[in-house]
Amino acid sequence: MAILAVNAGSSSLKFSLHPLQDGQVQPFVLSGNIQGLEPHGTPEMSWTYLGKKHAEALVVSADSSPFATALQGVRALVQRLEAAPDIQAVAHRVVHGGGVFTESVLVTPEILDKLASFNSLAPLHQPHNLEGIRQFQAAFPELPQIACFDTAFHASMPEVDYAFALPRSLQDQGVRRYGFHGLSYQYIMSVLQEHTIRGRGRVVMAHLGNGASLCAALAGSSVATTMGFSALDGLMMGTRSGALDAGVLLYLLEQGWTHAQMEKLLYKQSGLLGVSGISADMRKLRADGSENAQRAIDQFTHRVIRETGALVACLGGLDALAFSGGIGENDAVLRAQVCERLAWLGIRMDAQRNQEASGKQAYAIHAPDSSVEIWVIPTDEGRVAAREAAALLARQDKATAQGQAPATSALA
């Protein structure tokens, strides 16, 4: 048996198949990505199965959509793969669970309706996550669909960190800091704790990619994070602004900007793209070499350094620093610059190991005399989602065996 993990976006679909062995989720045997799922797009599916890479174009029929075609492509692929394990459930990454969902849940119509009420809090992600669930329900009607939340890992944050300095009545309505990238942080933390005792101490994790955030963890639990009410706060990102004085938005309102214009500005036209005017891709900016490209890189790096310092203050020190995400895992220059600016913490990087780190699992890059351990840990959100789904199914099986009615909803 296996769990199929899914991450549905606006124009792409990532999936991975994780076998179960003695009830434990194993690394994926199948991993794939389908691009071109925007309206009138041409889906292209690439995948790796047992270490071998493949690719094919998917043909959209007149009575179908790119997304529906992609799902049928995934189903057909899994069915035709030699020796592929049977799927027991589909685990979906869902960005926002609000203050309601603090653990994974079996999806019901009522839960889908509640999750849709959070769409405005994560407009780049939530609607597409939920559409993925709906489409997979139609394509795999016999399988349980399980929602796994990015916000759940941060449910342990104390009120002093998640509360805004606003009237309590607004907090009672759900206006508070939630935090995101939780599935990634859950995976990084589990790997770090497998490799070093420092993972049980004061840790800052840096998920740096097109979406970027930092998380401070103490004894394995989140105590502070840079993202907040929405996925806009904190670090500068690929196309998102990060932390911004609310007065800027009031000014734009006075200038006649509409909600739609401001949403597009903050989510799609800011960050690395907005500052550079060139690209949201750090690799392209590194290769460009222009003054505008360097300005964007410097600003991104500075925000990482500044916010790391703030989280270290919340922790009262630092035992380990972990880099992950597309930029964190692959940009050795950024890692070196961040660690150089944090040398006052006793951080010492091994330059050679830093250059060697990309593409390796859980690779330590600190020097022997470093007071802080530094790690590069490629994240695997799909495996965490699969673990969450397997654990939920095991709890339900246990409840059924004991003659209890298994809970299927956090709203029950």
- Give the span between the Cα atoms of 6 and 26, in whole angstroms: 16
Query: Does some domain include residue 298?
Result: yes
Q: Specify whether 357 is located in the same domain as 389.
A: no
Residue 359, pLDDT > 80, answer: no
Where does residue 200 rank: exposed (0-12), middle (13-18), buried (19+ CB within 10 A)?
middle
| DSSP type of residue 209 | S
7 is in an annotated binding site: yes
For position 156, what pLDDT does the model report?
Answer: 96
Per the model's pLDDT, the better-predicted residue between 140 and 375 turns out to be 375
Beta strand 24-25 with 373-376 is: unpaired
Domain count, the chain: 2
Residue 233 shares a structural domain with residue 91: no
Q: Give tens-digit pLDDT for 144-169.
A: 999 999 999 999 999 999 999 999 99
- Please report the DSSP string for 338-357 in residue order: HHHHTGGGT--B-HHHHHH-
Are 350 and 388 part of one and the same domain?
no
- The token duo for 95 is 């960005």
Mean of pLDDT values over 287-294: 97
Give the separation between CA 131 and CA 138, rounded to whole angstroms.
Answer: 11
* pLDDT computed for residue 412 by the predictor: 37
pLDDT attached to residue 411? 47
Can you tell me the distance from the alpha carbon of 106 to that of 90, in angstroms, rounded to the nearest whole number? 10
Evaluate if residue 316 carries a pLDDT over 70: yes
| 289-305 core/surface letters (b: 16 or more CB in 10 A; e: else) | eeeebeebbeebbebbe
- For the chain, the average pLDDT equals 92
* Same domain? 69 vs 97: yes
Instruction: Output DSSP code: residue 142.
Output: T
User: Given a cut of 60, is residue 409 above it in pLDDT?
Assistant: no
Same domain? For 306 and 327 the reply is yes
Sign of CA pseudo-dihedral 296, 299, 301, 304: negative
284 close to 249: Cβ distance less than 8 angstroms: no
Q: Is 292 annotated as a binding residue?
A: no
Q: How many degrees, rounded to 5, is the angle at CA 216 between CA 164 and CA 196? A: 165
- Res 407: pLDDT: 55
pLDDT of residue 202: 98
User: Quick check: is 269 in a domain?
Assistant: yes
Domain presence at residue 166: no
pLDDT for the residue 75: 83
**Does 171 map to a domain?**
no
Same domain, 254 and 350: yes
pLDDT at 254 over 90: yes
Domain that includes residue 70, residue range = 2-149+384-401
Q: How do residues 266-284 score in pLDDT, each as one tens digit? A: 999 999 999 999 999 999 9
- Asked if pLDDT for residue 402 goes beyond 80, the answer is no
Judge whether 9 is annotated as a binding position: no
Instruction: Quick: pLDDT tens for 8-18.
Output: 877 788 999 99
Catalytic residues, by residue number, are 150
14 is in an annotated binding site: yes
| Domain shared by 248 and 337, yes or no | yes
Tens of pLDDT, residue by residue over 93-143, are: 999 998 899 999 999 999 999 999 999 888 878 988 998 899 889 888 899
Residues 113, 212 within the same domain? no
Q: Please count the other Cβ atoms lying within 10 Å of the Cβ belonging to residue 368.
A: 6
pLDDT at 225 > cutoff 80 = yes
Same domain, 372 and 228: yes
Q: Which of 215, 388, 383, 236 is nearest to 297 (CA)?
A: 236
Q: Read off the pLDDT band of 410 (50, 70, 90).
A: very low
**Cα distances (Å, whole numbers) of residue 209 to 61, 76, 190, 204, 281:** 34, 31, 20, 16, 9
Instruction: Confirm whether residue 329 is marked as ligand binding.
Output: yes
By residue count, the chain amounts to 412
User: Could you tell me if 194 and 202 are in contact, meaning their C-beta atoms sit under 8 angstroms apart?
Assistant: no
Asked if pLDDT for residue 66 goes beyond 80, the answer is yes
Does the residue 156 lie in any domain?
no
Q: What is the mean pLDDT of residues 78-89?
A: 84
Q: Determine what percent of the chain is predicted with pLDDT higher than 90.
A: 72
H or E element at residue 79: helix 66-80
Task: Confirm whether residue 211 is marked as ligand binding.
Answer: yes
51 is in an annotated binding site: no
Buried b (16+ CB within 10 A) or exposed e, 369-387: ebebbbbbbbbbbbbbbbb
pLDDT band at 406 (very low <50, low <70, confident <90, very high): low
Residue 351 has a pLDDT of 97
Model confidence at 234, pLDDT cuts 50, 70, 90, reads: very high
| Per-residue pLDDT, 401 | 77
167 lies in some domain: no
The reply to whether 111 and 224 lie within a common domain is no
Q: In the predicted model, is pLDDT for residue 396 greater than 50? A: yes
CATH number, residue 283: 3.30.420.40
Mark whether 389 and 336 lie in a shared domain. no
Query: Do 334 and 203 share a structural domain?
Result: yes
Give a yes or no: residue 164 inside a domain. no
> Is 185 part of a structural domain of the chain?
no
- Residue found under tokens 């009830």: 23
State the Cα torsion 312-313-315-319 to the nearest 10°.
40
State pTM to two decimals.
Answer: 0.91
